[in-house]
Amino acid sequence: MTETGSTGLRDYGTEGLRDCGTKNDRDQVRDMGKTMKLPESAMQDLAFKALDSFRIEIPSWGFADTGTRFGKFVQAAAATTIEEKFADAGEVNRLTGVTPTVALHVLWDLPNGVKDVAEVKELEKRFGVKSGAINPNLFQDQEYKYGSLCNPSAEIRQKALEHMLDSIEIAKALGSRDISLWMPDGSNYPGTQSIRKRIGWLEEALRVSHDHMAHYQRLLVEYKPFEPAFYHTDIADWGMSSHFARAAGPQARVLVDTGHHYSAQNIEQIVAWLLHTNMLGGFHFNDRRYADDDLTLGSIDPYQIFRIFHEIHAATDDGLGIDIAYMIDQSHNLKGKIEAMVQTVVTAQELYLKAALVDRKQLAGLQQSCDLVAAEELYRGTFWTDVRPLTRAWREARGLPADPLAELRASGYVERAAKERGSRSSAVSSYA
């Protein structure tokens, strides 16, 4: 029995469910390990609905040559111009049908600022993908050695702020909604910077930036616990991001990069908190083994991504207003770039779908009755469901290649790109 009536406490949808009791009556609700028992057609409807609602943004920098701090292995097919990046993004969208937008990094993609917008708009038309999140670049200029928006020098802070405002203008001109901010700011040695002064400087800069946004735009504030700064980073975790987003204004939210956490951190709990407090704005998806490895989504721990998606589906079922930008933040050093991007998108769809299939009604009953093993088996069992026949059927139904990776190989796109671009690519030394 829930307590709602007598105490006025909210029951969070537990009314009518059996509570954890001291009596051993759990077997009555136990349905151990039974995952969704819907008839096949209802299951397909549910799956198609989930897949229809899922879109994921790909990053322009995922197609360019990148490397580690030790070196770079150049790929003949890597994109070296904004045109080639759009071409590759268009190809990924043709193959998967779910990547209609491409995230842009201002310095790498629009080095002349707003002046480059006209060209980008042309490319959007030509390749059938639109500009997505606009990423200011506050980490490459020599002046940012001691920080950008948190630099002790008012002059350098001002320069960084102007770059923020330029980025917002670029986004407006492109019709992009999200400004996706990641800063390298921090310090390497204890006592060398005032942590609190820097908080104040950043609050102010984000407030001013927020004021310059159009009503439909959003500021997404990304956090990262370390790197390139190793003693403190100015936005180290989701709590700090939430604070800065709130201080900035009502259109700011938190961006969760799955690689930006310490080992063993419970990311789905962070996601649940951000959903509960209406502060979740988007994701940068990738996987990690050690730190910000930017490995392929789900390659190390697919269960982690499933658990994140489950929190989101659960919040959606509960009627929470959710508006999340799903983005990929990966740039592959060893794998073929387009191939890895397609693999990532397909993996994201599979994990999103798996989580959509969790029988949350049954799970709520098992949670309420504290039937731990049955609840876990239901959850875990759904994770182990092979959804690939469903994603394949969905692609066929939507007129998309049933197997996007196979289609990519058959198309010869990468070989053609390698032939055309090969001679140029080795000369390029940044993400641009």
What are the φ/ψ torsions at residue 8 (nearest 5 degrees)? Answer: 80, 5
Residue that the structure tokens 């990053």 belong to: 59
Nearest to 219 by CA among 183, 245, 185: 245
Q: Which of ligand RM4, Mn ion, none interacts with 135 (beta carbon under 5 to 8 A by kind)?
A: ligand RM4
Q: Does 185 bind Mn ion (CB under 5 A)?
A: no
Cβ closest to ligand RM4, residue 287 vs residue 350: 287
Nearest to 306 by CA among 295, 314, 298: 298
For residues 194 to 223, the per-residue mask of contacts with ligand RM4, x marking binding by CB under 6 A and - elsewhere, is ----------------------------x-
CA–CA separation, 254 and 257 (whole Å): 10
Q: Which of ligand RM4, Mn ion, none interacts with 394 (beta carbon under 5 to 8 A by kind)?
A: none
Nearest to 382 by CA among 56, 45, 38: 38
Among 284, 288, 310, 421, binds Mn ion (CB under 5 A): 284
Q: Which of Mn ion, ligand RM4, none interacts with 287 (beta carbon under 5 to 8 A by kind)?
A: none
Q: Is the peptide bond before 228 cis (omega within 30 degrees of 0)?
A: yes
Q: Does 310 bind ligand RM4 (CB under 6 A)?
A: no
Cβ closest to ligand RM4, residue 248 vs residue 328: 328
Q: Which of Mn ion, ligand RM4, none interacts with 310 (beta carbon under 5 to 8 A by kind)?
A: none
Cβ closest to Mn ion, residue 224 vs residue 421: 224
- Contact criterion met (CB below 8 Å) for 306 and 349: no
The DSSP line for 158-199 is: HHHHHHHHHHHHHHHHHT--EEEE----EESSTTSS-HHHHH
For residues 110 to 149, the per-residue mask of contacts with ligand RM4, x marking binding by CB under 6 A and - elsewhere, is -------------------------x--------------
Among 84, 91, 116, 329, binds Mn ion (CB under 5 A): 329
Cβ closest to Mn ion, residue 91 vs residue 329: 329
Q: Taking the CB of residue 103, how many other CB atoms lie within 10 A of it?
A: 25
The count of residues interacting with ligand RM4 (CB under 6 A) is 8
10-15-21 Cα angle (round to 5): 100
CA–CA separation, 318 and 275 (whole Å): 11
The DSSP line for 274-300 is: HHHTT-EEEEEE-B-SSSS--BPTTSS
CB of 215 to ligand RM4, least distance (A): 25
Element of type H or E holding 244? helix 238-248
CB of 293 to Mn ion, least distance (A): 9
The count of residues interacting with Mn ion (CB under 5 A) is 4
Element of type H or E holding 127? helix 117-127
CB of 182 to ligand RM4, least distance (A): 4
Q: Which of ligand RM4, Mn ion, none interacts with 88 (beta carbon under 5 to 8 A by kind)?
A: none
Cβ closest to ligand RM4, residue 259 vs residue 401: 259
Q: Does 288 bind Mn ion (CB under 5 A)?
A: no
Cβ closest to ligand RM4, residue 127 vs residue 182: 182
Pairing outcome for strands 178-181 and 218-222:
parallel
Cβ closest to Mn ion, residue 119 vs residue 293: 293
Among 57, 109, 178, 292, binds Mn ion (CB under 5 A): 292
Sequence-distant (6+) residues with CB within 8 A of 134 are 103, 104, 106, 167, 168, 170, 171, 174, 176, 178, 179, 180
CA–CA separation, 82 and 103 (whole Å): 12
For residues 246 to 285, the per-residue mask of contacts with ligand RM4, x marking binding by CB under 6 A and - elsewhere, is -----------x--------------------------x-
The DSSP line for 140-160 is: SSGGGGG-STT-S-HHHHHHH
CB of 402 to ligand RM4, least distance (A): 33
CB of 302 to ligand RM4, least distance (A): 20
Q: Does 182 bind ligand RM4 (CB under 6 A)?
A: yes
DSSP 328: E
Q: Does 65 bind ligand RM4 (CB under 6 A)?
A: no
Cβ closest to ligand RM4, residue 123 vs residue 220: 220
Considering only residues 312 to 371 of the shown chain, the ones binding ligand RM4 according to CB under 6 A are: 329
Q: Which residues pair with 186 in a beta bridge?
A: 233
Cβ closest to Mn ion, residue 292 vs residue 371: 292
Contact residues for ligand RM4 (CB under 6 A)? 135, 182, 222, 224, 257, 284, 292, 329
Which residues contact Mn ion by CB under 5 A? 257, 284, 292, 329
